[in-house]
Amino acid sequence: MPLQCPQNHKHKLQEARITMIKLLAKIGRFNTVVVITIIASAASAAVATGAILILNQYGLAIRLHIAIPLAAAVALVVAPPISWVLVGMMLRIYRIEEKMRNIASYDSLTGLLSRHAFFESANRSISLANRHRAAFAVLIIDLDHFKSINDRFGHPAGDAVLRLFADVVNSVARRSDIVGRLGGEEFAMLLPSTNTSEALDFCQRLHGAIGKAVLKYQNSVIRYTVSIGLTASSIGSLDSIENLLAHADLALYQAKRDGRNQTAVFNYATEKVVAS
């Protein structure tokens, strides 16, 4: 029965392959071919030397000073065109794969992480936070009355609002913050090394930035607000991003019931919405 390669081993092999191709791309196609040619020529000369020494022991009188340069010269002629084609193919495949990964990882409208990519990145960040016993916060953000914007101004205007919102979030967020579009007008964020008080400060800055970011669309001025559900993890919690978003979603519904354009907080310890 054939042995199956473990999933983590396959993942490591894939990472090693990508790392190697990234290195080739950084070195450049021409320089890579030069390096391969030098290695091939040296290897050919070494193999030829060993083979000739063995054959000469059996009575053959092969001259090293002729055979070795000849073997190296063959490698110098053969290696460049073959390696040029192979390296080019590898780099083209890598660029195609990179483009496909970007398509899968980023929302085409807003440029934020896609739902799947957000969940993956957030869970990695949560695992890291748990190892270091660091706090973090999770937000779920919903644009208020977004359907009315589409109905009144049209879907292109709604798309423009979503793009503007993404720009505003990126202007307020830190480099370490993870932002993704869950679907429609619903977004999520994970704020590493952030407690409840700090997360609330962030939400207030976001509300303020959104209030200042007015969209001028054709002959209209479009304003919008957001409701936010917030939960901050307890240190060492093993919850997944899915469970944390479910808690934040409860707070989001409370923020909407209380009139929208505000942030509500789900208390992780009491499992209740405690502040709005």
The catalytic residues are: 185
Tell me, rounded to whole angstroms, the distance of Cα 84 from its chain centroid. Answer: 30
Question: Got the DSSP string for 105-149?
Answer: HB-TTT-SBPHHHHHHHHHHHHHHHHHTT--EEEEEEEETTHHHH
Per DSSP, 220 falls in state E
Kindly report the number of other CB atoms within 10 A of residue 68's CB atom: 18
What value, to the nearest 5°, has the Cα angle with vertex 79 and ends 34 and 44? 100
Task: Tell which residue, 197, 200, 216, has the closest CA to residue 208.
Answer: 200
Kindly report the number of other CB atoms within 10 A of residue 136's CB atom: 25
- Quote the CA–CA distance of 15 and 269 in Å, as a whole number: 39
Q: Write b or e for each residue in 228-250: b if 16 or more Cβ atoms lie within 10 A of its Cβ, otherwise e.
A: bbbbbbeeebebebeebbbbbbb
